[in-house]
Amino acid sequence: MCFTASVHPRLVSTMNIFGALLLASTVGGRSISRSNGLAGIVEGKTKLTFDGAGNFKVVSFSDMHTGERWGNGSWADWGPANDAATQNVHATVLDNEKPNYVVFNGDMMTGENVFASNATNYLDIVFAPTVARSIPFSCTHGNHDNADNINHQIEIEYEQANYASLSYTRSDAGPQPYGGGNYWVPVYAKSTDTVPAAIMWFFDSRSFVSGTGNGPGPIPDAANFYWVDENTVPQYIAAQRTLMEQQWSKVPPALVFVHIPVQKAQILAPLPSEGDHDDEPDPSTQGFLNNDYTGLDLPFWNEIIALNGGSDGGNVLAITSGHDHGESWCARSTDSSGIPICFNGHSGYGGYVTTHSAMRNGRVFELNLADLQGTVPVVRTWNSYENSTTNDEVVLGPDYMAQFN
């Protein structure tokens, strides 16, 4: 077993034990696996499993933008009412969908408007309806979660310290404190399995928003990026993928979550797809610095293609983003190497709202074991709204938008 110089230095020490025997067993659903470098196999964490009917349902919420009262802008007065309304959206969607897992896909708060003394209280507000229903969850982090009085690392450490039993959020790779929320979480067909049936990957697209009233300052150099870190995260993905191939003889089908969409989303946006298209013609995406496209999001994107099993490999079921509140579609084409790119819409009453996105929503993914074990895996997805309706249901896989692939 040999690792090349491209392996991220932080991973090397854990990989040295790779030659050791893989020890794994389960007691009462608690995994006590030895990870052998597989960062998502976390000792003492309850294993996530498909239900008796072979389903595992994920609801993703994005762009909650809590905490807006404490800015001194025009929104100053209605923040707390908005936050209560956001909680109602989550409660309604969770009761209607009854998911096995919840993903908060970034911009949990409007960080430029919060105070350092209690910024993390806004995470409590965001998590409360999910915690009240005892649903496991994790987060990606958005550009508004990096601000003068809050950053991704503070949010991650607070979540780990206060929600240890339900939260699966980690920081495996990436620059601290503004871009370290990169990790994966396994989902098993049954709790005695050692090889997952699916993986959920979470990535940190960084960026920073300066304060408007509680300590406005310049953007720190270390935060002035609008894409997943190209120096550490691609290496992390490649190393983890290699370990999966070696230890499991496969890379399980994947759902991918990252707050700011990949740039290929702009190319797919004009294609006919169900869902909102309000932030077009140019939905904001990764890779831009001062309005110039840098291409520095591509090292990350190329590792997503590798996870997919190459162009048209079909192993990445969807890469889903928030950030553009007025986009809620899924599309795929040769421009995205056949990988479905999906948008969340938005569940928050904070932040901006567009013509068609006033009815807040979550995006649902229903993983099914039989669907995952076909020649090419597929996943069913739809939007679930606060008015208790659903819409835009599609099955993502080789048949979806086949005419563009």
Ligand X SMILES: *[C@@H]1O[C@H](CO)[C@@H](O)[C@H](O)[C@H]1NC(C)=O
Query: Nearer Cβ to ligand X, position 16 or 387?
Result: 387
Interface pick for ligand X out of 14, 46, 88, 121 (rule CB under 6 A): 121
Q: CB within 8 A of 109, min separation 6: which ones? A: 64, 65, 66, 67, 119, 122, 123, 126, 144, 145, 150, 350
Query: Nearer Cβ to ligand X, position 211 or 314?
Result: 211
Whole-number minimum distance, CB 149 to ligand X, in Å?
Answer: 11
Site membership for ligand X, residue 162 (CB under 6 A): no
Q: How far apart are CA 102 and CA 316, in angstroms?
A: 19
Q: Mask: binding to ligand X, 315-354, rule CB under 6 A, as x and -?
A: ----------------------------------------
The DSSP code for 228 is: S
Nearest to 284 by CA among 256, 321, 234, 312: 321
Q: Tell me phi and psi for residue 48, to 5 degrees.
A: -80, 130
Q: Which residue is nearest to ligand X (CB)?
A: 359
CA atoms within 13 A on the CB side of 154: 18
Q: How far apart are CA 99 and CA 101, in angstroms?
A: 5
Whole-number minimum distance, CB 17 to ligand X, in Å?
Answer: 43
Which range, of 29-37, 210-218, 260-268, 336-344, touches ligand X by CB under 6 A? 210-218
Site membership for ligand X, residue 118 (CB under 6 A): yes
Site membership for ligand X, residue 217 (CB under 6 A): no
Site membership for ligand X, residue 390 (CB under 6 A): no
Hey, which residues between 78 and 117 contact ligand X (CB under 6 A)?
115
Whole-number minimum distance, CB 121 to ligand X, in Å?
Answer: 4
Q: CB within 8 A of 231, min separation 6: which ones? A: 175
Interface pick for ligand X out of 96, 210, 391, 405 (rule CB under 6 A): 391
Site membership for ligand X, residue 72 (CB under 6 A): yes
Query: Nearer Cβ to ligand X, position 61 or 122?
Result: 122
What is the total count of residues that contact ligand X (CB under 6 A)?
13
Q: Which residues bind ligand X (CB under 6 A)?
A: 72, 115, 118, 121-122, 212-213, 216, 359, 385, 387, 389, 391
